[in-house]
Amino acid sequence: MAGGIAEVVARAGMRAILRARSEASAATAVKQVTSGLARQVDKGKLDAAERDRILANITTATDLGALGACDIIIESVVEDLATKQQLFRDLDAVATPRAILATNTSTLPVVEMAKVVRQPERVCGIHFFNPAQVLPLVEIVRPITASDDTINRSVTFVKAIGKDGVNVLDRAGFIVNALLFPYLNNAIRMLEDGTASMEDIDTAMKGGCNFPMGPFALLDLVGLDTSLSILDTLHASFGDENFAPRPMLRKLVAEGRLGRKTKAGFYVY
Ligand code: 3HC
């Protein structure tokens, strides 16, 4: 997701610093961006000069200090609150006071990240959708602590990168995941029950609802580990059984079948 976000920002003519814990993971993210852009050049959708301009706007770093002059910092690390909170503490120490500190969390309470920094008013959620380069939506999530200035500047930023922003309060799953994940979870239940095959459920939802992909293909795209943590958080927040992650999902995650990124999830790639 981080590479996709960096590409969107760079495409809009802004400089993006892609910060990762290791040079190797930063290089992998840039490689993904580079090959995505190369495909577009091959298809005649992007010219080579534009590709070079986009790539020139992206630099990488491992040291958090490199983010010191950024106007906006978007965290997109693993969906684990303690990890995110530690990152926000570290960002608080290096970021310029005017910077917005945003999280791309799928479901975790944004306020929990806001409360570990010295200026909680500058923290909000800026939530992209997979693949970030393609999907137009961004949810701008307002925790109770955020200032109007933080939200207004985030709205302006989202517009400037060419996305469609929607405003939502800091409630687990925000808009999209709160509505999408009961559907995905119930598709797994239907497969467990033997009602239909995975392929037929995917075909049915594509052909019957005109969805671009069926629930199992989408779970594999999002990542089964990410999907499991989203459902766990939604279930803990709302207590609704539709959010209780299905055993088959837990089993696949335990087996390391995490979706497209591990070349196997519900499907094998
Ligand atoms: N990364 C970058 N670009 C990608 C991509 C990827 N992983 N997958 C596809 N694309 C691009 C292609 O290059 C192509 O670009 P072009 O039109 O400029 O040539 C365009 O997307 C269309 O791709 P394809 O023609 O190969 O395939 P499709 O038309 O089937 O589209 C799809 C693929 C965009 C993934 C489409 O199936 C889709 O929109 N699926 C639904 C995705 C969705 O629902 N996402 C939300 C998930 S929930 C979420 O993200 C929340 C989070 O918190 C977990």
**For residue 260, what pLDDT is reported?**
96
Tens of pLDDT, residues 106-143 = 999 999 999 999 999 999 999 999 999 999 999 999 99
pLDDT level of residue 50 (50, 70, 90 thresholds): very high
Please indicate whether residue 226, judged by its CB atom, sits closer than 6 Å to ligand 1: yes
pLDDT level of residue 209 (50, 70, 90 thresholds): very high
What's phi and psi for 20, nearest 5 deg? -130, 165
Return the closest-CA partner of residue 190 out of 177, 174, 204, 180.
204
Q: What b/e sequence results for 12-35 when a residue is b if at least 16 CB atoms lie within 10 Å of its CB, and e otherwise?
A: beeebbbbbeeeeebeebbebbbe
Distance between Cα 135 and ligand 1 center (Å): 7
Question: Given 57, 76, 106, 154, which residue is catalytic?
Answer: 106
Match domain 176-262 to its CATH number in 1.10.10.10, 2.60.40.10, 1.10.1040.10, 3.40.50.300.
1.10.1040.10
Ligand 1, atom 19: closest residue by C-alpha: 40
Q: Where are the domains of the chain?
A: 1-62, 70-170, 176-262
Distance between Cα 28 and ligand 1 center (Å): 19
Work out the average pLDDT over 262-266.
97
What's phi and psi for 266, nearest 5 deg? -65, -40
Q: Looking at the domain that runs over 70-170, which CATH code has it been given?
A: 3.40.50.720
**For residue 200, what pLDDT is reported?**
98
Please indicate whether residue 177, judged by its CB atom, sits closer than 6 Å to ligand 1: yes
**For residue 142, what pLDDT is reported?**
98
Percent of the chain with pLDDT over 90: 99
Work out the average pLDDT over 185-194.
98
**CATH topology agreement for domains 70-170 and 176-262:** no
CA 116 to chain centre: 22
pTM of the complete model: 0.94
Q: How far apart are CA 204 and CA 145, in angstroms?
A: 43
**For residue 252, what pLDDT is reported?**
98
Tens of pLDDT, residues 75-91 = 999 999 999 999 999 99
**For residue 16, what pLDDT is reported?**
97
